Amino acid sequence: MSVRLEEYEAIVGRDVIEELRVVAERVAGRRLQNINSTPVGGGVAEILTRLVPLLRELGVDATWDVIKGDEAFFATTKAFHNALHGAPEEITGEMLECYRETTALNLELMQFTGDIVWIHDPQPAGLIARKKEIGGRWVWRCHIDLSAPDPRVWDFLRPYVEAYDASIFSMPDFAQQLSIPQYMVTPSIDPLADKNRELPEEQVRAVVDKHGLDPERPIVTQISRFDRLKDPLGVIAAYRLAKRQQDCQLLLAGGGAPDDPEGMEVLREVQEAAADDRDIHVLLLPPQSDLEINALVRGSTVVMQKSIKEGFGLTVSEALWKGKPVIGGAVGGIRVQVINGLTGYLVHSPEGAARRLVRLLADPELCRQLGENGRLHVKQNFLLTRHVKDYLLVMLALEHPEESLVFLN
């Protein structure tokens, strides 16, 4: 997929692109090796798919590698993920051992090619063990909400993390007491990706029809991996309550990710909960369903992201960018995207979500206004060009570790 920087000019303006070029010049030619745990599924893969080509176009030699792991490893790291989000999980000594063993295996398999090694999330964090031997600068980029981590998992990971040169978190709330510098970078969406670009009305209509949704009646949608922290059952509960007052259909669409072994189990729970209602549509999407997801969101009246915990929640910006009001759980990064009463509503329960849903479904003009605000909010804060600039600045800062001010010329 080729990305052309000039194409962003029409959306973000010439100055933003010029500024990117100026900063990029200072780190041009650096080899930036990204390493994560899945090539598809979930927000990290979504971001890297677009960020890496754009960095390359700016002259940074950015690459992307994925660690290997078996079912036991990904069950372990999913338990870590949930526990770091503060959810109750049993963490056993065997799990910690499994993490160490898979890390050792990947230390053998991985070719380290970066001047800067950019490790995403806990799954590959242990690769830091090779830093002393191969050198370079190492950054741990954490995409999850670490505001209340289970101490057992965090204490296990912390020594790995503190061996990095720097860390990056998505929100100030997620920052930790660490002996290394911490940078704050919020994630972003790509307005030109198939997931987000403008689509003709007929295409939206065709996708809505294809999935048996009635375009003449309101559609409430949540797009998410089938994951308990995304609270799909809470969305169904909210829909059922709202439907007593406002007619609507519910669409729960999502796929799995190779590093998320719980998906199929949660999907079954959702299918069971939805079984008696023909207005609830549960879609299991294959990877690369970007145009389909784009069309489904555009065909929706209201988008939900009723997460119980959330690192950022790209799906929120994806919906706001399409002018859709979002009802989101008042957690993690959703709180910086959904500005209560301006771009959507923040909720704490299925009942609260239902109340907001009834209000929105009754008032198309309110939906339009919140959606318009939402698009502007995303344009100003959560587009890929801002994200690329932040990463370039972190790269630059890494080369000036003792300086609080770096001059660009």
Rounded CA-CA distance 51/143 in Å is 15
Task: For residue 258, report the phi and psi dihedrals to the nearest 5 degrees.
Answer: -60, -25
| Nearer to ligand UDP among residue 69 and residue 313 (C-beta) | 313
Q: Nearest distance from residue 159's CB to ligand UDP, in Å?
A: 26
Q: Which amino acid is at 45?
A: A
C-alpha closest to that of 46 among 195, 222, 179, 153: 195
Cα separations in angstroms, 294 against 47, 306, 320: 16, 19, 12
Q: Decide if residue 318 touches ligand UDP (CB under 6 A).
A: yes
Applying CB under 6 A, among 118, 312, 345, 382 the residue interacting with ligand UDP is 312
Q: Decide if residue 42 touches ligand UDP (CB under 6 A).
A: yes
243 Cβ neighbours under 8 A, 6+ residues apart: 279
Q: Decide if residue 145 touches ligand UDP (CB under 6 A).
A: no
Q: What is the DSSP string of 270-305?
A: HHHHHTT-TTEEEEEPPSS-HHHHHHHHHT-SEEEE
Applying CB under 6 A, among 124, 313, 332, 344 the residue interacting with ligand UDP is 313
Q: Which amino acid is at 26?
A: R
Q: Decide if residue 46 touches ligand UDP (CB under 6 A).
A: yes
Q: Decide if residue 285 touches ligand UDP (CB under 6 A).
A: yes
Applying CB under 6 A, among 249, 301, 315, 337 the residue interacting with ligand UDP is 315
Applying CB under 6 A, among 293, 304, 358, 370 the residue interacting with ligand UDP is 293
Task: For residue 140, report the phi and psi dihedrals to the nearest 5 degrees.
Answer: -100, 115
Q: Decide if residue 262 touches ligand UDP (CB under 6 A).
A: no
Rounded CA-CA distance 37/50 in Å is 17
With vertex at residue 148, the alpha carbon angle to CA 327 and CA 145, rounded to the nearest 5 degrees, is 50
**139 in Cβ contact with 117 (< 8 Å):** yes
Q: Decide if residue 43 touches ligand UDP (CB under 6 A).
A: yes
Q: Decide if residue 218 touches ligand UDP (CB under 6 A).
A: no
Rounded CA-CA distance 82/153 in Å is 10
Q: Decide if residue 231 touches ligand UDP (CB under 6 A).
A: no
Q: Select from 163-171, 208-216, 262-270, 311-319 the region that touches ligand UDP (CB under 6 A).
A: 311-319
Neighbouring-strand partners of residue 184: 169
Applying CB under 6 A, among 58, 270, 314, 319 the residue interacting with ligand UDP is 314
Point out the residue whose Cβ comes nearest to ligand UDP: 43
DSSP structural state of residue 40 = S
**Interaction mask 114-143, ligand UDP, x per CB under 6 A:** ------------------------------
Q: Nearest distance from residue 41's CB to ligand UDP, in Å?
A: 7
DSSP structural state of residue 280 = E
| Nearer to ligand UDP among residue 48 and residue 358 (C-beta) | 48
Instruction: Determine which helix (DSSP H) or strand (DSSP E) holds 183, and give its type and residue range.
Output: strand 182-184
Q: Decide if residue 185 touches ligand UDP (CB under 6 A).
A: no
Q: How many residues bind ligand UDP (CB under 6 A)?
A: 17
Q: Which amino acid is at 408?
A: L
Q: Nearest distance from residue 290's CB to ligand UDP, in Å?
A: 6
Contact residues: ligand UDP, CB under 6 A? 42-43, 46, 195, 223-225, 254-255, 285, 289, 293, 312-315, 318
